Structure 1
């Protein structure tokens, strides 16, 4: 049987600074995770399961490299985190897996169920593809070589979740150990089945050639002549197809590649970062690659321009992410389309920025729903709520005008309502990536907006 790698997220050095993770209630995410990780390690070892844990001083990149240097095909890897939200009522545990991997999705659900069986008071938020994460991908799910997942144990910012994690830590550790043991057994059995019949896997036996199952590639509705391969439940497509799509991954170190029978294959889900839609149909063993809209680099993230979605598509996307939003904001999509079109701003980008800033109109931070401030204008934390606007349309208009101030030197079409318009150096940030460090201090601000935009386009069938 293989071994388990388990990492406590946060606590290591990111650059020259130690990263404590979220901070709340006189504790840090790193403190809670390390204490929980230690109990999981002890529990697994008591069952005779081999466990390795990277040093707590390592960064995320260092942790992944440490695991990859020591892993075999029979191993699994888990990183634990705690969530945080501006809304203190948000709570529950969830497991993230690499998108489009049905095996990993089922195993993620197995982990969550094992936790809930031991700590039923902890709500389940279920399994989630890593594309649903705020930045659109999770390094621990994508870049670790053995099968891997990331579990959010609960919300550090929710008193009930934090109390459960602190007072029921051993039960939580036993639940995770139960799930990890079942997952490890399953992975080990699958790995052994790939060896030639009659061969007994021993340390001294030379590794047998690995035969990867093939899958059909559907490219924009047409069957592609070459086949994909399936590796640990993940689809890989031949580099020739990647070249045909005009995607240059040669300088992208995070894109996983394999050489099989002298052909280079690329991890299909990684192409989503190049504005393609990638999905997997296990029944027909088909990888679907869609590039319906020809978004070029510098266009999909250009603030001045035209949106592509319909009002209904925007509303359905909002409802999918917050079922209660339309009760109070039934006209919000129409407002974004109208106000942004008047000023020449891409309403899809403005709408997705609002989704990021407000948590899909849940709010819960310094800005209150009654303020109609949909993009955190003037809200700089520590209780600073920023300006209020008399109605939803005016609040949307102010956001659009502020975006135009950053992205263009053209004059406004409508009367000025943005109180901070005059403070912006006009035209300094025509791309979403250039808003980071200007509109918001969050170093992942642009990544969160772009991840939301890709999800919107995928839900609308445009990618």
Structure 2
């Protein structure tokens, strides 16, 4: 497998004096290229690619010799430059290759494309033969024994190019690393890049697919991002990598969408919480998905009635399962159960043996409906909510005795059940306040 040699232009001694390269706006080409080179080296090593960094105190000729002594078959070499011009409006990146070498030209275009794709605001001046350079040829392209290119990443004298170099340096380094890997892959027939796997937890649930660690950052599969309802596939500013035929994006990119991103070092798990889906407008919608885990539902109930789970140990699981089957937000249903039963303490009219967790009325008799077991009672509750929220058909056979009497779809929002499910016009607000408490207790949203 080949290796990559990287040299930062200038910085060494030429004729006994340090060579800073171009000096612009309080910085030097040597300083900027060394900073960039170090980040590229870090990116490559994180991806398992063997890279050799040319020492900064060598003269240009010594740098060439340093590479040539160590170079072997399937290695490649690159030197990073920044250009300068008398006209500050001149800008853009260029990749130079040895003239009349179509293979090297292909690789120069490959490297340049990787850079400008990740940094679309950096213009490309195209891949050019070294014969078009100011000196008529470039020694790095001609005198290095391994395949070599010179990448000129922009003009220090142009404010826009300089801003990108100094403020998007890590993005630039990642783009160059991607281009170098593609080049090395073409030269040596494959690069064995390996990333450490990590687990993913979303809203308290373990996600079936793993993520990866890239340069110390957690990356998650793009398919998970799609499931959360965010479209990042065409966002050019999002960091992404392709690994084992799966596209991954950096988890932190979800923060602008109000997704909380955390890390559990002991279990190597990235923890995602979809805060945006917990806003009032979403948590009020009956048809949807719950966000709390089974354990979080149980702990919420137990913290308010320590004896609740002694008789109803499976109730949280039943609410999650039945809610998912019918597409009903089980967080809402569970909190409504807590309100209606006073956290399973019940009252005078309905007793625990009835398995009636939402004060569902009976066809006859004042005491309310009775169900043969806990799961059937939960199913009736879920069906009753679905009847109010939508005209969609039920998945399971009807067990709610009042299902057929409800005008379907009249109350898609839980607040609209005030005056319908309960005569109290603030009924919806009271139950939704419990949902907020559930999310606060579970750490899904910050406490007010």
Question: Scaled by the length of structure 1, what TM-score is found?
Answer: 0.41
Greater RCO between the two (CA within 8 Å, min separation 6)?
1
Structure whose alpha-carbon radius of gyration is higher: 2
Question: Scaled by the length of structure 2, what TM-score is found?
Answer: 0.42
